[in-house]
Amino acid sequence: MTLSIAKRVLEEIHTHAESTYPEECCGLLISDRSKHVTESIRMKNAYDGPKHDRYNIDPLELFRADRASAQKGLTIAGIYHSHPDYPATLSKFDTDHSFPWYSYVVVSVPKGQAGDTRAWIPKEDRTSAMEETMEVFG
């Protein structure tokens, strides 16, 4: 399945990624059932340590966002996060800690400027991830 993201959502993700540089940002991709992402929700990077190459989403914050989205008939299609001065690929840490039912959007932020943005789907066993086609609409 293709992950479609509204242009203004992608811009908001880029703004978020630049605002937390040189630390990673993270957030949720909110969509309808056919992976049309029309909203994003910023999450706090709750990683308990240096945040320049790690992020963690508080499960309670995720749960609340999931419930709020469901009340609007929407769902969490995936998770986005940034890679300060690192390519837009999933790291081993990322795949090890991923959920195979989510899409993962990664934004590369070289020198503080959001750039290459790619989507990934982890394999069931979390050993690797496949790139997902991403299209921008609106």
**Residues binding Zn ion (CB under 5 A):** 91, 94
Residue (69 or 120) nearer to Zn ion, CB = 120
- Taking the complex as a whole, how short is the minimal distance between the CB of residue 97 and Zn ion, in angstroms? 9
The DSSP line for 47-105 is: -SS--SS-----HHHHHHHHHHHHHTT-EEEEEEEEEETS-SS--HHHHHT--TTSEEE
- Taking the complex as a whole, how short is the minimal distance between the CB of residue 127 and Zn ion, in angstroms? 16
Residue (39 or 52) nearer to Zn ion, CB = 52
Contact 29, 76 (CB under 8 A): yes
As beta bridge partners, residue 39 has: 30
Residue nearest Zn ion by beta-carbon distance: 94
* Amino acid, res. 123: K
- Taking the complex as a whole, how short is the minimal distance between the CB of residue 31 and Zn ion, in angstroms? 21
- Taking the complex as a whole, how short is the minimal distance between the CB of residue 74 and Zn ion, in angstroms? 25
Residue (56 or 91) nearer to Zn ion, CB = 91
